[in-house]
Structure 1
Amino acid sequence: MSDDDIRVLLVDDQDLFREGVRVIVDAQDGMTVVGTAADGAEALRRVEELAPHVVLMDIRMPEMDGVEATRRLFAPDAVARRAAAGAPPVRVVVLTTFNLDDRAATAIRHGASGFLLKDTTPVQLRDAIRTVHAGNAVLAPGDLNALMAGSFTAPTPVPAAYLGLTEKEREVFAAVAAGLSNTEVGARVFLSESTVKTHVGSILRKLALRDRVQIVVYAHEHGLAA
């Protein structure tokens, strides 16, 4: 394993499925399975022990399911503890058998970067791991917005932190929330791609968000999605 490899943790209660995914992931260049877990509680322990970059998390498991494990994984105290220990930021992809699963939507609200169907291809799995490791969503922008649109019955008040964004940052926020890439955002708001990246970083910092996926969630939660 190279120091530059993406470290992957597999979480699923079915031994055969875990081993099949392990073989697929280990066969890819630039990524390595560093461990496995059979339920959410074990997954939380393994994240602390192994400091993975990406967790592939089954949504339905005994003892503790993937939704609750994701919620606990991204609880502020857990995130702060891992950061203090020097662990890298962790990304979660939930695994499900149902497309646009309500549980997957809840997991994304708690911090997951998207979901994959369990019958996904090896190429799709590889690309998903690389995508979330880079801080992006697994889901296509339209699917992510459709999933989030049905997840909030009523928007909550706009936080003061959002009101503190500059006018240009709000334009970038709206474009990212709509699912646009940095290149597309730049074309919409007349900025270079490097400047867009700077604005996105500032938005994430000011709103205390982890990645672009959470910008989409934040927009829907507070009624800011177009």
Structure 2
Amino acid sequence: MSAPIRVLVCDDQVLVRTGLVTIMDAQPDIEVAGECGDGKAAVELAGRLRPDVVVMDVRMPVLDGIAATRLLAGAGVARPVKVLVVTTFNLDEYVYEALRAGASGFLLKDAPVDQLLHGIRTVSTGTALLAPEVTRRLVGEYAARIRPVDGEPQDLPLTPRELEVLRLIADGLSNGEIAARLVISQETVKTFVSRILTKLDLRDRVQAVVYAYRHGLAT
């Protein structure tokens, strides 16, 4: 059997944190490496415990979840940690900023238990947890906040087809939807996505969306 997914839980509400820990402890493939109640403690514990995933609240004392995420998973971090942000419906803007800070995805606090567990497992594999409809919603509302650079980059190391796939990712299309649009297989789409992330030195689809908007490749 493979080693369990080690998770650090960070939430300033004790009851919420206890509930999350209890749920995770009951799973044979998930191990709670530690827990804390603020972002500063999360950064310190992550450095010491080396969890596979940090489940991070947004609004917390001392250091908020966005700032903590940037320190754990942002650009330039030597050993980035995968961060799964938890939030509520009325905090979309905070979620968006957390994704820009380096989070691999997010869930709502009232999500069913199976979604939480699926989210942890998904993020632990290096896959972004960002549903296509959520991509459309967030990008549609906050794309204007991403300051674009001047013009399309001239040295973009992508083939025309890869560039087309990147634009469709930025539009919020899933692999299946991209495959249907381009009349290719989903496996081929996965190959294109992998190449795009590698060539542009991006971690996941979330970063690809932000990259596309920053460089004027999507509207």
**How many Å separate the matches in 2 of 1:68 and 1:131?**
23
Which among 83, 96, 106 is matched to residue 105 of structure 1?
A: 96
The partner residue of 2:149 within 156, 167, 189 is: 156
- The 3 A distance-change label for structure 1 pair 17 and 208 is same
In the TM superposition, residue 45 of structure 1 has moved relative to its aligned partner by 1.6
Give the TM-score of the pair, scaled to structure 2.
0.86
One-letter identity of the residue aligned with 1:133: S
Unaligned 5+ segments in structure 1 are 83-88
Aligned amino acid, residue 160 of structure 1 = P
Deviations 1:52-79 (A, max 9, x none): 222111101111000101111223442x
Runs of 4+ in 1 over 6 A off after TM superposition: none
Please give the secondary structure, in 2, of the residue aligned with 1:59. coil
> Matched residue pairs, number?
217
How far apart are residue 146 of structure 1 and its match?
Answer: 1.9
User: How many angstroms apart in 2 are the aligned matches of 1:140 and 1:196?
Assistant: 16
Distance 1:97 1:58 in 2: 10
Q: Distance in 1 between matches of 2:4 and 2:83?
A: 17
Question: Hey, what does 2:25 align to over in structure 1?
Answer: 26
Gap runs ≥5 in structure 2: none
Match of 2:82 in 1: 91
- TM-score normalised over the length of structure 1: 0.84
Distance 1:162 1:111, change over 3 A: farther
- Local SS of the residue matching 2:216: coil
Matches of 2:155 and 2:180, distance apart in 1:
23
Q: Identity of aligned pairs, percent?
A: 50
Instruction: Evaluate the alpha carbon distance shift between residue 223 and residue 127 of structure 1 in structure 2; reply closer, same or farther with a 3 A threshold.
Output: same
Give RMSD over aligned pairs.
2.3
SS at match of 2:148: coil
2-structure distance, mates of 1:208, 1:136: 15
Conservation of the 8 A alpha-carbon contact between 2:74 and 2:102 = no
Deviations 1:107-164 (A, max 9, x none): 1111112322222221121122123233444343122222133323353335637732
1:145 aligns with 2:143: no
Residue in structure 2 matched with residue 201 of structure 1 by the alignment: 194
One-letter identity of the residue aligned with 2:30: M
Amino acid in structure 2 at the alignment position of 1:28: Q
Distance in 2 of aligned mates of 1:139 and 1:99: 17
- Write the distance in 1 (CA, Å) between the matches of 2:28 and 2:180: 33
Rate the CA distance shift 1:139–1:212 in 2: closer, same or farther, 3 A.
Answer: closer
In structure 2, the residue matched to 1:51 is 50
The answer to whether residue 216 in structure 2 is matched with residue 223 in structure 1 is yes
Q: CA deviation at 1:100?
A: 4.9
